[in-house]
Amino acid sequence: MADFFSQNRGALKLVVQGEIPNEGFRPGQVGALHAVLAHISVHDDPAIVCLPTGYGKTSVMMALPMLLGAKRVLVVEPSDALRRQVSSHFRELSTLRRIKVIDPATPNPAVLRLEGKPENADAWRAFEEFDVVVSTPASSSPAVAPGAAPHLFDLVVFDEAHHAPADTWAAFLDHYRSARFVFLTATPFRRDERVIPGKLAYRYPVMRALEEGAFQPIAFLAAPVEDTLDDEHVDRVIAELAVRQLRSDIDAGYDHRIFVRAATISAARALVPLYKGMGVNVEAIDSKVSKRTQDECERRLISGDLQGIVCVDMFGEGYDFPKLKIAALHAPHRSLVPTIQFIGRFARVDGATGRGTLIAPLARVQNATTALLKEGVDLARMIDAAAAAELAGDAEGQAVLERLPVRRIAESDYDAVSPLALELYAHVRVFHCSQAPNFEAIGDRITRHVRVMKQWSSDDGTVSLLLTADENPPSWATSDALSNIRHDAFLFIYYPATQRCYIGSTRRTEKIYLGLMNKACPAAHRALSYEETSRARAGLQAVKFYNVGLKNNTFNSQAETYRTLTGPAAERAVSAGDGRAYSQGHFFGSGMAGDSKETIGASSSSRIWSNQRLTVAEFLTWVETLDARLTGNTPFEATQLDLVRAATTLRQLPETVIAGTWPKAGFRANPRLRCLRGAGARLVYRRLTDWEFCEFEPQPIAGRLLFSVTSEDISVRMSFAVGQGNMVSQLDEATTLEIESAVDSWMPLAEWLSEHPPIFYAADKSSFEGMNLMAAPQLQTRALAQGDTEVIDWNGCDVTIEFLVDDGTPRAQERRAQLAGRATVQEHLEQHLMGQADVIALFYDHRSGEAADYIAVSVEQQGDVKIALYHCKGAGGPPSGGRVGDVYEVAGQLVKSVFYCDSHILLTHMEDRMNGRYAAPSRFLRGNIGMLRQLFEETLATKLSFIVIGVQPGIRRGMVNERLVDLMVFGIDYARQGGAANAYWLVSE
């Protein structure tokens, strides 16, 4: 009849069951009804109601439309068995009449059990004559059966709501947007780990239901299996015990049935003859048999013609047949929770039935606690404990949804994507922000190919979650006709109190991290130092390291640039010698935080991680813990890793910078650079090692260092700044200077240097790379040792002039005349080297990007080959012992030339430097590249060595003061540590 529920809403009596059984609602049913009414008064999203199995969800389902005065109700069931059962109850309002909560004169509603899919809109309109339509998703979901008017139903009830995340079911929510939705379930556990849409309005504890007498403890009988490996034996023992229990129950006057659970359909069918052979008539039911067969089996089960049913999960959730009291568990569920749910079916109380019994071999009940297997197990307490743990997770998830509302969505395909469907590896790139980032400013794209498909953000702007899609063509495709769609998630968390921003991502590249921060927090962010990130392990006890990274502090390609130690206690492999040659680069290990063990790792590249995958809620909690550790002053537990020094935070730039070198990644790849000086100019291509850093101008108060990137006649001014966004920026806007970051892929050099910070060396012997400051050695050398200096006769040399280019210009002629017949420093050194009989090759390489001013190769009588790299500098005045400025530049050259202490790298460099593309190519003054290559190839590695020499005739050996000694020895020690067999200074007597 039309408007049945609105016309009969006064016929319902909300009375609680008293002393007379089966008169009135149970307390939990009344509570659920009131909770739904309260929920819909303030919320538009679905109400989730959780009631124990067998407690009477069907009564709640029938009472709700009468309370709400619904016009038309759609009930969605997960299976045909429940559709059939619920529609029959609705048709008679059977349970409401049985518990006497409606007037006996109340008519019945018009109920349709929808089987099959409506074919068109007309078929849907035919349902307007019904008050209730009971269906399954396959019959009524708008995704598979379109055509229904959006206002056809004003109340939609999902039964067994933990199925709700299925895409087919989600279509109901999207289509019937004006309807009220109620989700009924006996369990808060979701099978697919996706969120049940809506809010938990009510959950009635199983313990309360047990106290009411709604359930009773079940008996557990352990099948006496002798051979657990023999499946036939195991199945026979279980069946014998189940049949014996059935006969015992029947003898006691109980009309019980057996429910047999198997692992697979084939296993279920194989058990049928086993039970029949024992005189018990059973049938197997599965999804492959016809609906008619299923209905017939159910009829026979009810009538008693069948004494049991064998299946996998058919007749499972929500199916109401109290006579199923004996559970024969031939196959366990995968975890404790579904096992509890399965057992719960047999614990409900019914006047005509007795106590439920679970039969299983101990070996097959997996992942169950010992409490589950006890005689008279307190099932209610176990269900409540498991539900409470799960609901705690649900509460966290609900809190995430409330904290992160959707801010934008690019395509409707992403409507159903929830933050709760995402898991991220516990890894963050951390930034310090001098002003609050604006994550809304990231825009629609992260890179040219990576689009933002959906963004969730908190109201206060401190948390934002991005879901992106990368539509790049696959690497093996030759055109854009094909595309790979890769999805990634980026989670931003900002703490205003500490000014730290954490980025968790499924795509971890420095280029993307910096690009995101340049949009969200331009010119106001910086990376964290290793000193800061290493605090991630602060407070942990019993620390062990499984992976430790040690950075070589020199650049010689012959030595390990990065040493990795692995093992169950990798820090024990660290020695005192490592402490002199290396600094800490990263660590990964574990420790105890109270009673909990956790893994933690941190690196000098401003990253922190842990070996676990986390939900968004768990990720937020993990980062909150990290931020507290990074902020506090809790000390580290001492370990052997402490033998290796660690970088500190670059808080202020040094007063004097003497050198800068490319990052090791640049030296290894030596990519191309291209320069365009103004519109219409020709692009100039050169290798990275053709360029060098010079003209350093520290500005400590401003927090920046100005420097030039120079190659021959080209010089581009740049800035290294702390806490101002990208660390490196180009100041010369008229010039374009780019680096080939990948094959035929170019990016501004300044951006590349922000991703791969250069290393700068200060006059106080400290160095810094990005935010990581490597402090100077605490010990100061006060005197030169024997071999630290050598002397040649500098008579006839003007020691104040390093070199002179005789290009015929008036300026060159004037300077030559001023020399009055004397030689420059380079000319004098060249004459000296050419006069050495053992020097078989002499290479002149003086210009930007040089390996040295002169490279001299000599062969000794024993066949030893010596390769000497000479670095020259004119004196700032007459020879003395305190001219520090004369040493700075040469010491910096010694530091940089260590990279070329490798015969292959040096030969490659020399050959390239002679290329005709240079205006003034480097050249051999003696020998040639062919004979040198042959010599190196024929010489044993043990007989080939390098010597690095600083040439400074402005220094008098007998007058050197302590400050100068310390700086000179620093250059010598650095070269020797980097792989040079020897290093010294060529000075005046």
CATH code for the domain in which residue 520 is found:
3.30.310
Q: Is the pLDDT of residue 482 over 70?
A: no
- Ranges 551-565, 812-826, 888-902: which has the least confidence: 551-565
Within a domain: 233: yes
Choose between 896 and 334: higher pLDDT: 896
What whole-number percentage of the chain has pLDDT above 70? 87
CATH code for the domain in which residue 338 is found:
3.40.50.300
Q: Is the pLDDT of residue 696 over 90?
A: yes
Buried b (16+ CB within 10 A) or exposed e, 185-216: bbbbbbeeebbbbbbbbbbbbbbbbbeeebbb
Residue length, the chain?
989
Task: Indicate the pLDDT class of residue 566, thresholds 50, 70 and 90.
Answer: very high
Which residue reads 């700086």 in tokens? 967
Pair 263, 292 in one domain: yes
Choose between 198 and 261: higher pLDDT: 261
Pair 766, 796 in one domain: no
Within a domain: 509: yes
Pair 625, 661 in one domain: no
Buried b (16+ CB within 10 A) or exposed e, 149-160: eeebbbbbbbbb
CATH code for the domain in which residue 799 is found:
3.40.91
Within a domain: 983: yes
Q: Is the pLDDT of residue 517 over 90?
A: yes
Pair 372, 225 in one domain: yes
Pair 677, 763 in one domain: yes
Pair 11, 50 in one domain: yes
Residue 2: the pLDDT is 64
Within a domain: 441: yes
Average pLDDT, the chain: 86
Residue 124: the pLDDT is 95
Number of domains in the chain: 6
Angle at 37 between CA 36 and CA 41, to 5 degrees: 115
| DSSP secondary structure string for all residues of 562-583 | EEEEESTTGGGG--HHHHHHEE
CB-CB contact of 892 with 658 (8 Å): yes
For the segment 738-746, the average pLDDT, to the nearest whole number, is 85
Q: Is the pLDDT of residue 372 over 50?
A: no
Task: Indicate the pLDDT class of residue 332, thresholds 50, 70 and 90.
Answer: low
CB-CB contact of 881 with 985 (8 Å): no
| DSSP secondary structure string for all residues of 689-714 | GG-EEEEEEEETTTTEEEEEEEETTE
Question: What is the separation of C-alpha 721 from the centre of its chain, rounded to a whole number of angstroms?
Answer: 29
Tokens standing for residue 888:
């700075």
- Interacting residues of 877 by C-beta distance below 8 A, sequence separation 6+: 800, 883, 954
Q: Is 591 exposed, middle or buried (0-12, 13-18, 19+ CB in 10 A)?
A: buried
Q: What is the pLDDT of residues 342-360, one digit of tens each?
A: 555 554 556 567 777 888 8
Strand order in the sheet with 47-50: 111-113, 132-135, 73-76, 155-159, 180-185, 47-50, 199-203
Within a domain: 779: no
Angle at 313 between CA 307 and CA 316, to 5 degrees: 75
Dihedral angle, C-alpha 315, 320, 326, 329, nearest 10 °:
30
Task: Indicate the pLDDT class of residue 184, thresholds 50, 70 and 90.
Answer: very high
Within a domain: 853: yes
Would strands 648-649 and 657-661 be described as parallel, antiparallel, or unpaired?
A: unpaired
Pair 712, 847 in one domain: no
Q: Is the pLDDT of residue 268 over 80?
A: yes
What single DSSP character describes residue 639? -
How far apart CA 4 and CA 70 sit, in angstroms, is 8
For the segment 440-452, the average pLDDT, to the nearest whole number, is 92
For the segment 278-288, the average pLDDT, to the nearest whole number, is 87
Residue 452: the pLDDT is 95
Nearest to 543 by CA among 598, 617, 488: 598
Residue 557: the pLDDT is 47
Question: What is the separation of C-alpha 366 from the centre of its chain, rounded to a whole number of angstroms?
Answer: 32
Q: What is the pLDDT of residues 196-226, one digit of tens each?
A: 677 889 988 877 776 776 666 667 788 888 8
For the segment 153-181, the average pLDDT, to the nearest whole number, is 83
Pair 460, 562 in one domain: no
Domain end: 177, 211, 245, which one?
211
Which phi and psi angles does 905 have, rounded to 5°?
-65, -40
Pair 153, 293 in one domain: no
Task: Indicate the pLDDT class of residue 110, thresholds 50, 70 and 90.
Answer: very high
Question: What is the separation of C-alpha 79 from the centre of its chain, rounded to a whole number of angstroms?
Answer: 39
CB-CB contact of 422 with 616 (8 Å): yes
Domain end: 741, 774, 807, which one?
774
Q: What is the pLDDT of residues 9-23, one digit of tens each?
A: 889 999 888 766 678
Q: What number of other Cβ atoms are within 10 A of residue 564's Cβ?
A: 12
How far apart CA 937 and CA 502 sit, in angstroms, is 51
Pair 501, 587 in one domain: no
In a 13 Å sphere around the CA of 836, the CA atoms on its Cβ side amount to 19
Model-wide pTM > 0.75: no
Q: What is the pLDDT of residues 591-641, one digit of tens each?
A: 999 989 999 999 999 999 999 999 999 999 999 999 999 998 899 999 999
3-class DSSP state of 17: coil
Nearest to 773 by CA among 532, 565, 498: 532
| DSSP secondary structure string for all residues of 259-293 | EEE-SSHHHHHHHHHHHHHTT--EEE--TTS-HHH
Choose between 208 and 194: higher pLDDT: 208
Q: Whole domain around residue 366: which residue ranges? A: 218-377
- 714: which strand partners? 711
Task: Indicate the pLDDT class of residue 163, thresholds 50, 70 and 90.
Answer: low
3-class DSSP state of 611: strand
Domain end: 356, 377, 398, which one?
377
Pair 454, 372 in one domain: no
Q: Is the pLDDT of residue 85 over 70?
A: yes
Within a domain: 400: no
Residue 919: the pLDDT is 83
- Interacting residues of 267 by C-beta distance below 8 A, sequence separation 6+: 330, 331
Pair 509, 550 in one domain: no
Residue 526: the pLDDT is 93
Q: What is the pLDDT of residues 635-680, one digit of tens each?
A: 999 999 999 989 999 999 999 998 899 988 888 788 999 999 988 8
Which phi and psi angles does 666 have, rounded to 5°?
-70, -45
φ/ψ region of 279 (left if φ > 0, alpha if ψ in -120 to 50, else beta) reads: left
Residue 376: the pLDDT is 44
Asked whether the CA dihedral 925, 931, 932, 935 is positive or negative, the reply is negative
